[in-house]
């Protein structure tokens, strides 16, 4: 795509020398202002030890004849796949443990029944509601929501930059560009391997050096225990230690690590109350992960972030063996708007029961039942603060819906047999009250 009479020039890309801001920010800015991509010079180069890029020539746009900026071609790496599609990020980091926040591209190349455009619609709706919350969750445990950057259509000129970075055989499609949730640091990945994969020490380094294991997000299953555990001198099958991506951390494993599961339960309860009663979204098939907080302006992880970065609450979790971390909620492609009536209550109960076991569940295990009570009490308390005095067109007080919802969940949830017992969760909510 060439502009008539345009002057061509080549510049060495140095925009991230100090701030190390992710290159996609530049791409989106360039395309939003009408710049045009020119010939890609096949000359790889490293920029300040951060990202591999290809040098690109840039013409002056007819819309902006006095302006000229570099276009880069990122090399992309698949960091996850799901029913909705594949997820890609910039590859070949020098050290992922010290990289500031960046972005991911979620391609809508999965099931025809899933939609990144629906995810974009729900996500932007949630983010708009988060911006309007005034102090309601100030003392709650922190829950982060990924920032939304763009929805790319198949005919978008952005694919002239993204597509060369993908493996051969990929074609343009609808895609979502979101903030990346930064994975667990190497020390935490090592801990998970040592504790739960039980591999020989001489294999741990090779596992950690495997780039596919860099992208480690931890799924906290507060409603599920492992069906069996292996003695310390036995090894798990290879199929159970295939990857550290989306690492499933069951309640008995969290107990073994001494994690503050009661805090996670209260954070999930607050997030669910927000989605149900403020955003009026059914939270169908959403996921929760434990990961690093957003980096501060200095590039180091911090829970102190500007109000513009979407989140609930500001109270940090007990760091424990995971170090500084936060709870993230993501994957909204299955979500729909929730009706504020009894039909909506029934629908929300069904989606809660069918979701993966992130939330605590009814159980014959005393520890699990205690955790369910913590979650239930917190959900009702937060919901009450949100809905106090509200009524529906049916004449029902909306403040009745949370109690009716919990009742339907308890009726629908089968009581699970208890597994391993664990330590004290702690029921004291303290100043975490909404």
**Any idea which of 218-232, 346-360, 397-411, 418-432 has the lowest mean pLDDT?**
418-432
Share of the chain above pLDDT 70, in %: 68
DSSP annotation of 276: I
Residue 161 and residue 202 share a domain: no
**Any idea which of 95-109, 143-157, 272-286, 375-389 has the lowest mean pLDDT?**
95-109
The answer to whether residue 124 is domain-embedded is: no
Alpha carbon distance 62, 60 (integer Å): 7
Which residues span the domain enclosing 217? 186-432
The answer to whether residue 175 is domain-embedded is: yes
Residue 405 and residue 359 share a domain: yes
The answer to whether residue 205 is domain-embedded is: yes
**Any idea which of 118-122, 145-149, 354-358, 429-433 has the lowest mean pLDDT?**
429-433
Alpha carbon distance 238, 427 (integer Å): 38
Total residue length of the chain: 434
The answer to whether residue 256 is domain-embedded is: yes
pLDDT at site 244: 92
> Beta strands 311-312 and 326-330: pairing type?
unpaired
Question: 379 CB contacts (<8 Å, ≥6 apart)?
Answer: 269, 272, 273, 402, 406
> Beta strands 103-107 and 148-152: pairing type?
unpaired
CA atoms within 13 A on the CB side of 332: 28
Q: Given a cut of 70, is residue 26 above it in pLDDT?
A: no
Q: Given a cut of 50, is residue 152 above it in pLDDT?
A: yes
pLDDT tens column, 65-90: 444 444 455 688 898 888 888 999 88
Residue 388: pLDDT band (50, 70, 90) is confident
The answer to whether residue 37 is domain-embedded is: yes
Residue 234 and residue 202 share a domain: yes
- Cβ 157 vs Cβ 31: under 8 Å: yes
DSSP per position, 154-220: TT-TTHHHHGGGSPTT-----EEEEEPPPPPPHHHHHHHIIIII---HHHHHHHHH-GGGTS--EEE
Residue 345 and residue 204 share a domain: yes
The answer to whether residue 136 is domain-embedded is: no
The helix (run of H) or strand (run of E) holding residue 117 is helix 116-131
Average pLDDT over residues 346-351: 97
- Cβ 275 vs Cβ 125: under 8 Å: no
Alpha carbon distance 75, 304 (integer Å): 31
Residue 251 and residue 169 share a domain: no
The answer to whether residue 130 is domain-embedded is: no
Q: Given a cut of 60, is residue 94 above it in pLDDT?
A: no
Residue 153 and residue 231 share a domain: no
Residue 96 and residue 234 share a domain: no
Residue 298 and residue 173 share a domain: no
Domain boundary among 136, 159, 180: 180
Burial string for 163-193 (b: 16+ CB within 10 Å, else e) reads: ebbbeeebebebbbbbbbbbbbbbebbebbb
pLDDT at site 394: 56
Alpha carbon distance 402, 408 (integer Å): 10
* Helix, strand, coil % over all residues of the chain, rounded to 5: 35, 20, 50
pLDDT tens column, 279-320: 999 999 999 999 999 876 444 555 444 556 899 998 999 888
Average pLDDT over residues 363-384: 95
When divided into structural domains, the chain yields a total of 2
Question: 289 CB contacts (<8 Å, ≥6 apart)?
Answer: 181, 217, 218, 219, 220, 246, 327, 328, 330
The helix (run of H) or strand (run of E) holding residue 27 is helix 24-32
Residue 148: pLDDT band (50, 70, 90) is very high
Q: Is 385 helix (H, G, I), strand (E, B) or coil?
A: helix
What's the first-to-final CA gap in the chain, in angstroms? 55
pLDDT at site 35: 36
Residue 262 and residue 374 share a domain: yes
The answer to whether residue 428 is domain-embedded is: yes
pLDDT at site 395: 52
Residue 87 and residue 18 share a domain: yes
Alpha carbon distance 75, 42 (integer Å): 12
Give the C-alpha distances (Å, rounded to integers) separating 56 from 5, 43, 225, 346, 409: 19, 9, 52, 55, 56
| The CA-based dihedral angle spanning residues 356, 357, 363, 366, taken in that order and rounded to the nearest 10 degrees | 180
**Sole residue written with tokens 């929805």:** 151
What mean pLDDT value characterizes the chain? Answer: 77
> Taking Cα atoms as reference points, which of 185, 144, 182 lies closest to residue 322?
185
Query: Which residues is 177 bridged to in the sheet?
Result: 105, 150
Residue 164 and residue 196 share a domain: no
**Any idea which of 76-85, 386-395, 406-415 has the lowest mean pLDDT?**
386-395
Sheet holding 103-107, edge to edge: 76-81, 86-90, 103-107, 175-179, 148-152
Could you tell me the two tokens for 28?
Answer: 């989106």
Residue 152 and residue 11 share a domain: yes
Alpha carbon distance 332, 120 (integer Å): 8
Could you tell me the two tokens for 31?
Answer: 């395309």
Burial string for 268-290 (b: 16+ CB within 10 Å, else e) reads: bbbbbbbbbbbbebbbbbbbbbb
> Taking Cα atoms as reference points, which of 225, 239, 161 lies closest to residue 365?
225
Question: Which of the pair, 240 or 420, is modelled with greater confidence?
Answer: 240
Widest distance between CA atoms in the chain: 76
Average pLDDT over residues 199-224: 92
């Amino acid at each position: 795509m060439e502009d008539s009479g345009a002057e061509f020039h080549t510049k060495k890309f140095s925009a991230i020398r100090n701030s190390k801001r992710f290159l996609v920010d530049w791409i989106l800015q360039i395309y939003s202002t009408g710049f045009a991509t020119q010939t890609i010079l096949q000359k790889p180069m490293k920029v300040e030890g951060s990202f591999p890029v290809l040098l690109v020539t840039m013409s002056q746009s007819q819309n902006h004849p006095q302006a000229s900026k570099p276009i880069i071609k990122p090399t992309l790496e698949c960091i996850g796949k799901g029913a909705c599609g594949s997820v890609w990020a910039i590859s070949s980091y020098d050290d992922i443990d010290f990289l500031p926040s960046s972005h991911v591209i979620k391609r809508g190349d999965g099931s025809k029944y899933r939609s990144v455009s629906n995810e974009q619609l729900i996500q932007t709706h949630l983010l708009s509601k988060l911006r309007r919350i005034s102090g309601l969750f100030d003392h709650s445990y922190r829950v982060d929501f990924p920032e939304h950057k763009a929805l790319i259509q198949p005919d978008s000129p952005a694919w002239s930059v993204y597509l060369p970075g993908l493996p051969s055989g990929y074609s343009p499609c609808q895609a979502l560009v979101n903030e990346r949730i930064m994975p667990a640091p190497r020390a935490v990945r090592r801990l998970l391997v040592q504790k739960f994969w039980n591999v020989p020490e001489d294999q741990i380094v090779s596992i950690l050096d495997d780039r596919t294991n860099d992208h480690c997000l931890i799924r906290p299953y507060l409603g599920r225990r492992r069906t069996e555990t292996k003695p310390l001198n036995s090894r798990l099958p290879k199929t159970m230690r295939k990857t550290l991506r989306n690492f499933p951390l069951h309640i008995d494993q969290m107990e073994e690590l001494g994690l503050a599961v009661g805090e996670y339960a209260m954070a999930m309860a607050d997030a669910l109350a927000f989605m149900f009663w403020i955003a009026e979204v059914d939270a169908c098939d959403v996921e929760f992960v434990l990961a690093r907080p957003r980096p501060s302006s200095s590039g180091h992880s911090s829970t102190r972030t500007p109000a513009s970065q979407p989140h609930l609450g500001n109270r940090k979790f007990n760091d424990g063996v995971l170090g500084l971390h936060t709870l993230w909620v993501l994957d909204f492609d299955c979500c729909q708007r929730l009706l504020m009536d009894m039909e909506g209550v029934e629908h929300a109960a069904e989606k809660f029961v069918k979701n993966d076991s992130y939330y605590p569940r009814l159980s014959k295990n005393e520890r699990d039942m205690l955790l369910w009570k913590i979650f239930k009490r917190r959900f009702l308390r937060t919901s009450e603060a949100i809905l106090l005095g509200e009524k529906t067109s049916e004449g029902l007080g909306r403040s009745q819906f949370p109690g009716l919802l919990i009742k339907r969940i308890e009726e629908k949830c089968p009581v699970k047999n208890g597994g391993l017992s664990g330590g004290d969760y702690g029921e004291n909510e303290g100043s975490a009250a909404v």
